[in-house]
Amino acid sequence: MANACDLRNAYDSSIMVTYDVAVEEALEGPFYDPIYQAELQKDREIARAATNALKRADLFTVHGDNLARLIQDGESLSEFEVSSTRTIAILGGSGEGKSSLINSLLHYPEIAKCGDIGAACTSIVTEYRLKTANHRAPITIDVEYLSVTEIEELLKELLWSFRRMYLPNAEDENIIQSEYDQMERESAEAWSSLEAAFSHHEEFSKDWLTKDMTEEGLAMVTDQVIQWSHELDWPAGADSGKWTSTADTADECYEKTGVFMEDRFWPFTKIIRVYIEAQILKSGIILADLPGLHDTNLARVKATQDYLLRCDHIFVVARISRAITNQSLKSSLLSVVSKHAGQELDGSRGESMKIAAVCTNSEDINEKSARREFCGPNNRISPEDMAELDQDIAKEMEQGNRQSVKNLRLRQRLLLINARNMHVKEGLQKAYSAEIPKGVLEVFCVSNTSYEKYAMKGDIEMVQASGIPEVRQFCYTIISRAHLLEANHFRNSRMSSFLNSTLLVVAKPECQTMEAMIDRSIYFTLFGVKNEVLGAVSQSKIDFNDVFQSLIISHIDQESPAWEKAAQEEGLSWFNWYWSTVSTMHKYINCRLTPDVAEENVDPLLIDGIEFKIGAIEYEFSQAVEKLVKGVEIICSKASEANQSSYIVKIMTPAYRSAAQQFGKGMAARQRTIVQGRIEEGLFSKISMAISKDIKAEVKTSFGAVKKELDNIFVRIETDIRVRLATEEQSCEKGDPTREDKERRKADLACELQDLKRQHEEAPGSIDFIQPRVLEMEEVKEEGVAL
């Protein structure tokens, strides 16, 4: 493992160089098991040894430069590292400690700025990712900003939100106070964005924006601000919605990203990606700092919700003092989730959302109050323990031992902090016991201040007491399953297939008579099976869409009040059907291809190679299905939730806004007519069209990925066959010294490769771990959880 080298940026004096992240407790789970890691490393070394042996043998290149391809494959396998990633969204309002938490988890002070930079900063998603081999500088920054069309849509949204407060009906007595307050807040937020973007224009002002409150007036100001947006002078290097730069220090990074977080650019900045070295990022974790609670702009809230739905885990951050005061622990967390995710944690979604709570500022404690609450008979702290510490402190004070007094008081303080932490943790878990099926809400209480202070001092015990290492360990568990599956695929399929292919190069005789050569009709068998399999995939894609259309969309098109319930029930049938298709597919490949090739009396190495590649197909299927299921879950959320990302909100928003423009006599009747008219224009049919479009896009992507991978695998099978059948341009006459020398080198190579294959096969089996997504999803299916 890396040590403080993850923070070895010599240019940045703020790096915590005295605390070694590698000293943290060893990770748990099969993937992190030392024996498993040793075998993984052994397989890398086997791949390297086989590659070097191929190079030393200096064999003639066979058909299609296959030897060169094998060497390239071996070099890649010898450097294998798991590449799966999981994204953790960090949510929380301003001042809750989000940025400090990110700095602590990354072990990189100030990379996420904690200063008061206003709404602009909280309006931009910022990802922290691991540097790649192409990133030479300590920090690389990628920024994506909105396209011209997206900017125009955003400006329309901002102008609507701002001007709404100035409509004649905004002061209507029928508007309740909470609605008015929200409208006022949205208007202020919109003004903040518009002012940042266009205040440098002399004509721009609130009066100018509200001078004409008719629809024609709105169109006029909209056209003007859109024109101004076209004239924005983006930073040097910005091109086609992207900007890239580098930095040596956290301060320089902030200075460069600050350009997009402030002034005229931040309203149009979509996402910032910061690439650095950090131990937690090396594990495959991506940390995403998401906008705070007060971003009420519809377009940006929608983008945030879409991003959240694609995240693998959500950390809700709140100060520990706020989690235990006025409102209940449950409602405190729910308010954060509902504002960001737009959905409640009901029984069907609570588990899939995978939320953890992180309570910050645990060091901020009133010791006197905590002592009254947590110290006493049958309480978290026994009176005897506290009294003993009081006596020890008094004794050391009498003797003038200041350092001892300081240490004892710190122990006493930690007792109280830990007691309060357990109180908050248990309270949150109890509040969420009904909403988190098959599990308990993960709750962490941390002190970012203590972590930074004691990490700089190298005080391991106090760093552990800060709670940050525990959160970091939890992050590793989020990615461990994916790493295990990927590593097993490397060991069981890719390595086995590679070694098998290397043996094919050296196993065949140097010269073959026509009678001894394998019947080349095997090519026709292979091509026939390939066409059948790829045809089956294409037909499955068609069937998939047809079944979805008949089971789901038909219920929506009925425009029944119960369409959503019926669609969800039918969704389970569709889900079962798809898994049956996947299971049948890879069994078909196995049953169809292997016997047909075997009937040709083919070298067993070819048969083994096909079986290894079928394992690769199963793995790729599991990956494609996992992505498809995630995509369908997002579509289901958009179809069933009433949030800013939902289909119904997108369709109905124009009608709501048009109705809000009405005022004067008969206003209510006109508003009802506008809204009802929108519904009667075919609301459900529009929703079904949107769902169908998105489903087809997801299916196209998933099945396309499967077909592409199948193509690659069949190419490799064909390559193995060609290697076995290839006739090299070499004399077959006896006594030919060149041929004899090559045969000797091939024999030596064969022995070495056989030995390497034996070492690989003798390793403790990892096949027990490679029951991938299929088994997990079968369990879900049996429990009756619909998409």
Helix, coil or strand: residue 493:
helix
Helix, coil or strand: residue 86:
strand
Degrees, nearest 5: CA angle 56-62-67: 45
- Give me the CATH number covering residue 345: 3.40.50.300
Look up residue 185 and give its amino acid: R
Give φ, ψ of 15 to 5 degrees. Answer: -65, 140
How many CB atoms lie under 10 A from the CB of residue 343? 21
How many CB atoms lie under 10 A from the CB of residue 388? 11
Percent of the chain with pLDDT over 90: 29
**Do 545 and 695 contact (CB within 8 A), yes or no?**
yes
β-strands 86-91, 355-360 pairing: unpaired
The dihedral sign for the CA sequence 126, 128, 129, 134: positive
Same domain, 282 and 406: yes
pLDDT of residue 106: 95
For residues 124 and 267, give the distance between their C-alpha atoms in angstroms, rounded to a whole number.
9
pLDDT of residue 208: 95
Instruction: Write out pLDDT tens, residues 521-530.
Output: 666 777 777 7
| Domain final residue pick, 230, 261, 292 | 230
The predicted model gives 671-680 an average pLDDT of 70
- CA neighbor of 484 nearest in space, from 86, 762, 25, 88: 86
Across the chain, which distance is largest between two alpha carbons, in Å? 110
Which two three-digit tokens encode residue 15? 């790096």
Length of the chain: 787
Confidence band of 779 (pLDDT split at 50, 70, 90)? very low
**Do 318 and 96 contact (CB within 8 A), yes or no?**
yes
- CA neighbor of 268 nearest in space, from 194, 216, 331: 194
Helix, coil or strand: residue 88:
strand
Helix, coil or strand: residue 379:
coil
Helix, coil or strand: residue 317:
strand
Confidence band of 50 (pLDDT split at 50, 70, 90)? very high
Is 430 domain-assigned?
yes
- CA neighbor of 529 nearest in space, from 726, 713, 724: 713
Q: Which of 307-321, 450-464, 583-597 has the highest average model confidence (pLDDT)?
A: 450-464
Same domain, 93 and 74: no
Q: Burial letters for 716-725: b for 16+ Cβ neighbours within 10 Å, e otherwise?
A: bbbbbbebbb
Q: Which of 61-65, 497-501, 647-651 has the highest average model confidence (pLDDT)?
A: 497-501
Indicate the burial class of 496 (C-beta count within 10 angstroms; 0-12, 13-18, 19 or more). Answer: buried
pLDDT of residue 248: 96
Cα–Cα distances (Å) from 559 to 562, 638, 716, in that order, read 8, 17, 50
Same domain, 262 and 319: yes
Same domain, 269 and 177: no
The predicted model gives 658-671 an average pLDDT of 64
For residues 747 and 745, give the distance between their C-alpha atoms in angstroms, rounded to a whole number.
5
For residues 357 and 441, give the distance between their C-alpha atoms in angstroms, rounded to a whole number.
8
For residues 657 and 675, give the distance between their C-alpha atoms in angstroms, rounded to a whole number.
9
Same domain, 280 and 217: no
Is 197 domain-assigned?
yes
* Average per-residue pLDDT for the chain: 76
Look up residue 134 and give its amino acid: N
β-strands 139-145, 242-247 pairing: antiparallel
Facing residues of 382 across strands?
A: none
Is 3 domain-assigned?
no
Cα–Cα distances (Å) from 252 to 246, 270, 394, 456, 720, in that order, read 9, 21, 49, 21, 53
Confidence band of 57 (pLDDT split at 50, 70, 90)? confident
Facing residues of 246 across strands?
A: 140
Confidence band of 743 (pLDDT split at 50, 70, 90)? confident
Which helix (DSSP H) or strand (DSSP E) does residue 270 occupy? strand 269-276
For residues 303 and 9, give the distance between their C-alpha atoms in angstroms, rounded to a whole number.
34
Look up residue 618 and give its amino acid: E
More confident residue, 513 or 371: 371
Instruction: Write out pLDDT tens, residues 341-371.
Output: 444 444 444 445 588 999 999 999 999 999 9
Residue 71 pLDDT > 50 = yes
For residues 269 and 127, give the distance between their C-alpha atoms in angstroms, rounded to a whole number.
13
Is 10 domain-assigned?
no
pLDDT of residue 706: 80
Of 135-149, 253-267, 480-494, 537-551, the least confident: 537-551
Is 19 domain-assigned?
no
Q: Burial letters for 427-440: b for 16+ Cβ neighbours within 10 Å, e otherwise?
A: bbbebbeebbeeee
pLDDT of residue 237: 81
- CA neighbours within 13 Å on the CB side: how many for 428? 27
Of 160-174, 220-234, 540-554, 693-707, the least confident: 540-554
pLDDT of residue 735: 55
**Do 189 and 295 contact (CB within 8 A), yes or no?**
yes
Cα–Cα distances (Å) from 681 to 444, 481, 676, in that order, read 50, 48, 9
Of 214-223, 331-340, 674-683, 771-780, the least confident: 771-780
Same domain, 593 and 697: yes
Is 426 domain-assigned?
yes
Residue 568 pLDDT > 70 = no
Q: Say what the pTM is.
A: 0.77
Cα–Cα distances (Å) from 553 to 295, 307, 538, 630, 646, in that order, read 34, 26, 21, 19, 16
pLDDT of residue 785: 36
Confidence band of 575 (pLDDT split at 50, 70, 90)? very low
| Domain final residue pick, 406, 439, 474 | 474
How many CB atoms lie under 10 A from the CB of residue 687? 23
Same domain, 650 and 745: no
SS3 content of the chain, % helix, strand, coil (to 5): 65, 5, 30
pLDDT of residue 274: 97
Radius of gyration of the CA atoms of the chain, in A: 32
Is 9 domain-assigned?
no
Confidence band of 198 (pLDDT split at 50, 70, 90)? very high
Which helix (DSSP H) or strand (DSSP E) does residue 330 occupy? helix 329-341
Q: How far apart are the first and last CA of the chain?
A: 39
pLDDT of residue 769: 42
Confidence band of 12 (pLDDT split at 50, 70, 90)? very low
How many CB atoms lie under 10 A from the CB of residue 31? 23
Which two three-digit tokens encode residue 176? 């309740």
Confidence band of 185 (pLDDT split at 50, 70, 90)? confident
For residues 96 and 521, give the distance between their C-alpha atoms in angstroms, rounded to a whole number.
70
Can you say whether residue 483 is alpha, beta or left, with left for phi > 0 and alpha for psi between -120 and 50 degrees? alpha
Same domain, 160 and 107: no
**Do 360 and 366 contact (CB within 8 A), yes or no?**
no
Q: Which residue has the tokens 């879950």?
A: 633
Same domain, 732 and 721: no
Instruction: Write out pLDDT tens, residues 595-647.
Output: 544 444 556 777 777 778 777 777 877 787 777 877 777 777 777 665 566 77
Residue 563 pLDDT > 80 = no
Same domain, 353 and 386: yes
The dihedral sign for the CA sequence 770, 774, 777, 781: negative
Same domain, 576 and 666: yes
For residues 352 and 591, give the distance between their C-alpha atoms in angstroms, rounded to a whole number.
36
Facing residues of 315 across strands?
A: 90, 356
Parent domain of 582: 519-726
Total domains in the chain come to: 4
Facing residues of 316 across strands?
A: 91, 357
For residues 352 and 727, give the distance between their C-alpha atoms in angstroms, rounded to a whole number.
56
For residues 660 and 671, give the distance between their C-alpha atoms in angstroms, rounded to a whole number.
7
| Domain final residue pick, 419, 442, 474 | 474
Would you list the DSSP string of 271-292?
EEEEEE--HHHHTTEEEEE---
The dihedral sign for the CA sequence 631, 635, 636, 638: positive
Q: Which residue has the tokens 């200063």?
A: 115
**Do 90 and 241 contact (CB within 8 A), yes or no?**
no
Q: Which residue has the tokens 């990615």?
A: 479
**Do 194 and 158 contact (CB within 8 A), yes or no?**
yes
Which two three-digit tokens encode residue 524? 């026709």
pLDDT of residue 763: 74
Is 206 domain-assigned?
yes
- Kindly give the interhelix angle for 148-163 and 177-198, rounded to the nearest 10 degrees: 130
For residues 104 and 450, give the distance between their C-alpha atoms in angstroms, rounded to a whole number.
10
pLDDT of residue 559: 45
Same domain, 329 and 374: yes
Indicate the burial class of 782 (C-beta count within 10 angstroms; 0-12, 13-18, 19 or more). Answer: exposed
β-strands 242-247, 285-289 pairing: unpaired
The strands making up 355-360's β-sheet, listed across from edge to edge, are 242-247, 139-145, 269-276, 125-130, 285-289, 86-91, 313-319, 355-360, 442-445
